[in-house]
């Protein structure tokens, strides 16, 4: 049970982006440096985030990425789901085969389904804004 670094990178990058963009686009190069994430890898992630309508891109020099919405309207769960694709804890759930014989398998499935729901609910209960203000508090605290 492990969250991919994809998801971790994505959330961190989004926090970083929110913190440093004051309406201005932020380049991935900046983010990659500050957060120590491989640039090319970040590009892949932001492609997904863009298609997922979480960020918008500005091309050309001085370009970069912007939040597609205000940070209070972006859920952590969205970010994770977008870069992660299936957020079901068990693979046999995606294919709608519904085979499920009478074995124990069938019974345990409901557990994994519920677990997946809990995970999604939790991550959807946190907004990007929550993390950003938490981060600001942290920075303010460290500066003293």
Q: How far apart are CA 112 and CA 90, in angstroms?
A: 7
- Which one of 59, 95, 99, 102 is in contact with its own copies (CB under 8 A)? 102
**CA-to-CA distance for 92 and 98, rounded, in angstroms?**
9
Q: Determine if 140 is a binding residue for its own copies (CB under 8 A).
A: no
The yes or no reply on residue 25 touching DNA (CB under 7 A) is: yes
By beta-carbon proximity to its own copies, the closer residue of 61 and 119 is: 119
112 binds, among its own copies, DNA, none (CB under 5 to 8 A by kind): its own copies
- Given a contact cutoff of 8 angstroms between Cβ atoms, the answer to whether 6 and 84 are in contact is yes
CA proximity to 54, closest of 70, 41, 39, 68: 68
All residues at 6 or more sequence positions from 74 whose CB lies less than 8 Å from its CB, including other chains? 14, 54, 67, 68, 127, 128, 129
Instruction: Go through the chain and tell me how many residues it has.
Output: 144
For residue 136, the minimal CB distance to DNA (Å) is 23
Q: Is 41 in the site for its own copies (CB under 8 A)?
A: no
Counting contacts by CB under 7 A, is residue 72 touching DNA?
A: no
Where do contacts with its own copies occur on this chain (CB under 8 A)? 1-4, 7-8, 11-13, 15-16, 19, 34-36, 76, 80, 84, 87-91, 102-108, 110-112, 114-115, 118-119, 122-123, 126, 131, 134-135, 138-139, 142
């Amino acid at each position: 049970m492990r969250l991919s670094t994809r998801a971790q990178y994505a959330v961190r990058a989004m926090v970083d982006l929110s913190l440093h963009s004051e309406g201005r686009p932020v380049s991935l190069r900046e983010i990659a440096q500050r957060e120590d994430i491989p640039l090319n890898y970040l590009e892949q992630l932001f492609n997904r985030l863009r298609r997922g309508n979480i960020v918008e891109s500005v091309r050309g020099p001085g370009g970069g990425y912007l939040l597609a919405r205000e940070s209070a309207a972006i859920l952590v769960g969205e970010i994770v789901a977008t870069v992660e694709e299936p957020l079901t804890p068990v693979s046999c759930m995606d294919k709608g085969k519904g085979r499920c014989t009478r074995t124990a398998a069938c019974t345990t499935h409901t557990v994994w389904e519920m677990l997946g729901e809990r995970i999604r609910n939790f991550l959807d209960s946190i907004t990007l804004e929550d993390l950003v203000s938490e981060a600001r508090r942290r920075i303010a605290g460290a500066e003293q």
